[in-house]
A and B are shown apart, each in its own frame.
Chain A
Amino acid sequence: MMNSRNLPFLATLAIFLIAYALCTMQFPAMFSTRVMGNLLTDNAFLGIAAVGMTFVILSGGIDLSVGSVIAFTSVFVAVLVGKLGVHPLVAFGLVLIMSTAFGAGMGLMIRFLGIPPFVVTLAGMFFARGAAYLISTESVPISHPLLDAIQGFYLRIPGGGRLSALAMLMLVVFAAAIIIAGRTRFGANVYALGGNQQSAELMGVPAGKTTVEIYALSGFLSGLSGLAYTLYTSSGYSLATVGIELDAIAAVVIGGTLLTGGTGLVAGTFLGILIQGLIQTYIVFDGTLSSWWTKIVIGILLFVFIALQRGIIWYSNLRMSRGGGKGALGGVA
């Protein structure tokens, strides 16, 4: 569907392609399958977490607990497998159940106690980070034949690139999320809630159930992201991924999702992740720039996209008021 609401996504796509082309002109080696493979592998855990964040933001909420849940998951798994000798698959199952339940619990509080998501997930952030510190303040190494096998597994792409297991996991998560957002009842409910909660409820969207499901999904994906992080560094560390939720939010917004909810695409978030990864790669290739430029460029991009979104809303409101009833209907759908 080509309309003005897809414009942010298309703008992101254009920015990504232009940026990549410019990078390649300066450093031809950046246009290689190895760099592309690295982009996917190195951002796998961020990407998985950002998928959860996309659903949360689409519904008009926010989840600040993501980074802490990732750290908790990684430390918990590392201690279970590395110190207590639990089988990795059992440990994985256990932490995914815990993180999903944690997310669902936050969803329940948001819905039934009427506390803003910002406050509930802020509390969740402190809680999960504290729990991670409680388990271990040191980085815990983890080694198991199964984990080593997963970590060492990759498909060779022609040109020296590697598609690692983590990259594949992220791609699968994105593919599943695109289907869930676009083709299921749940996905439609998320968009409806974010567009206008009251009218969504009047139209029969089960707001309570959906809210809990959204935060449970974000919790689950944070847990999965934590597992990806554990595999990525073969260790658990309670100080890890501080502030990663903000990177995830940035990726979602740069990907064209409206921070107020209701509009956006999961595929946009994927581009948001790639753009962040691209900036970091460029800085490493250049080798003289301060790495803090990543934050500065992300900041500028965020401003640009928020301005772009305001502009689009302003434009469509203008059209709506001119077009009368027909335009208004289009706005809700």
Chain B
Amino acid sequence: MKKALATLAVAVTLSLASSVSAASLTVGFSQIGSESGWRAAETTVTKQEAEKRGVTLKFADAQQKQENQIKAIRGFIAQKVDAIFVAPVVATGWDAVLKEAKEEKIPVILLDREVEAPKDLYLTAVTSDTVHEGKVAGDYLVKDVAGKDCKVVELQGTTGSSPAINRKKGFEQAIAGHANIKIVRSQTGDFTRTKGKEVMESFIKAEGGGKGICAVYAHNDDMAVGAIQAIKEAGLKPGTDIKVVSIDAVPDIFKAMAAGEANATVELTPNMAGPAFDALMAYLKDKKEPPKWIQTESKLYTAKDDPMKVYEAKKGLGY
């Protein structure tokens, strides 16, 4: 029995040694949880991106709890991983554990959200610029209406939430120099499909059956899908009578786009890990310090981009 155990121990040690000499990277990823479809897609994409590059990914789901994330990060440090990715659940309280990682010379990259900690404690943060997302949506509409008068109704996200504030701000910046485009009504649809539909119904009633409305701008796709239903029920054609512009690029909006019922969406990419891996590889190879903030692309999708194909590609990501 003793001998068997010893043999096993030797075998384990040997296999461990060989995996180290293969010089493959091991990265620990502490994810917040899977509270939304987007978050689930981010997890799937991160795993795919790791696989693509031959990186071993250690994944830990924190179930929305900061203490679980701190535990996971400490666990990663104890395993001596080559780098740690964190999507932090809250902004505060990371100093101590980030310091510990720094002392062990393990680079940390933040995904999707920033933290309130000294900037030298992490390598970089990969996030989207939500103001820019709103601006891309606004720019699309400016170009699309090409100088004609356009009354816009706006479906805002949850009141006071930072994406709602920023996506509103960005859109307003984009239409600022164009007197032909005006936001005539703006209300919160709480980022949900049902609220989006309800609010759109009241917009249509208030604007004389919807004839005066040229476009709806929704802070996310879910509200846009709700609005499309409301427009149809009012006997109008979404996409032609009332243009539909939104943000996020979830699979369902591409279905609507393929049917000609939605005009454009701006992608909040679930691929935060791709740029993070690239920055990490460059850093590990030539000690090249990346900038402290890497902005992900806010890509515009319209009917020209073969929406059914995008839908098929996004369907399996867990949205």
Residues of A at under 8 Å CB distance from B?
Answer: 25-30, 32, 34-35, 38, 41-42, 45, 139-141, 151-152, 229, 232-235, 237, 240-241, 277, 280-281, 283-288, 290-292
Check B63–A234 contact: CB distance below 8 A: no
Q: What total of chain B residues lie within 8 Å of the partner, measured CB to CB?
A: 36
Q: A29-B80, A38-B74, A233-B92 are in contact. List 6 more A-B contacts (CB 8 A).
A: A27-B79, A28-B12, A34-B78, A38-B71, A41-B74, A291-B61
Check A42–B67 contact: CB distance below 8 A: yes
Check A240–B12 contact: CB distance below 8 A: no
Q: How far is B77's CA from A30's CA once the two chains are assembled, in angstroms?
A: 11
Q: How far is B78's CA from A34's CA once the two chains are assembled, in angstroms?
A: 6
Given contacts A38-B75, A288-B59, contact A141 B116 (CB under 8 A): yes
Asked if B281 lies at the interface with its beta carbon under 8 angstroms from chain A, I say no
- Write 22 A-B pairs (CB below 8 A) sorted by A numbering: A25-B8, A27-B79, A30-B78, A34-B77, A35-B78, A38-B71, A38-B75, A38-B78, A42-B70, A141-B92, A229-B67, A234-B95, A237-B92, A237-B93, A241-B67, A280-B68, A280-B71, A280-B75, A284-B28, A287-B56, A287-B57, A291-B68
Check B93–A285 contact: CB distance below 8 A: no
Q: Which residue on B lies nearest to A240, using beta carbons?
A: B66
Residues of B at under 8 Å CB distance from A?
Answer: 8-9, 12-13, 16, 28, 56-63, 65-68, 70-72, 74-80, 90-93, 95-96, 99, 116
Q: How far is B71's CA from A241's CA once the two chains are assembled, in angstroms?
A: 14
Query: Which residue, B57, B59, B91, has most C-beta atoms of chain A within 10 A?
Result: B59
Q: Which residue on B lies nearest to A162, using beta carbons?
A: B100
Query: Which residue, A27, A233, A235, has most C-beta atoms of chain B within 10 A?
Result: A233
Check A28–B13 contact: CB distance below 8 A: yes
B60 in complex: contacting residue of A38, A240, A287, CB < 8 Å: A287
Q: Which residue on B lies nearest to A27, using beta carbons?
A: B79
Given contacts A141-B116, A284-B58, contact A237 B90 (CB under 8 A): yes
Q: How far is B66's CA from A42's CA once the two chains are assembled, in angstroms?
A: 11
Q: How far is B77's CA from A285's CA once the two chains are assembled, in angstroms?
A: 10
Check B92–A29 contact: CB distance below 8 A: no
Across-interface contacts of B72 in A (CB, < 8 A): 284
Across-interface contacts of A42 in B (CB, < 8 A): 67, 70-71, 74
A233 in complex: contacting residue of B16, B59, B80, B93, CB < 8 Å: B93
Q: How far is B70's CA from A240's CA once the two chains are assembled, in angstroms?
A: 13
Check B58–A287 contact: CB distance below 8 A: yes
Across-interface contacts of B70 in A (CB, < 8 A): 42, 232-233
Q: Which residue on B lies nearest to A295, using beta carbons?
A: B63
Q: B160 to chain A: closest CB distance in Å?
A: 11
Q: A20 to chain B: closest CB distance in Å?
A: 14
Check B12–A26 contact: CB distance below 8 A: yes
- Nearest first, the 6 closest Cβ-Cβ pairs linking A and B are A287-B58, A284-B75, A233-B93, A235-B92, A235-B93, A141-B92
Q: How far is B68's CA from A289's CA once the two chains are assembled, in angstroms?
A: 15
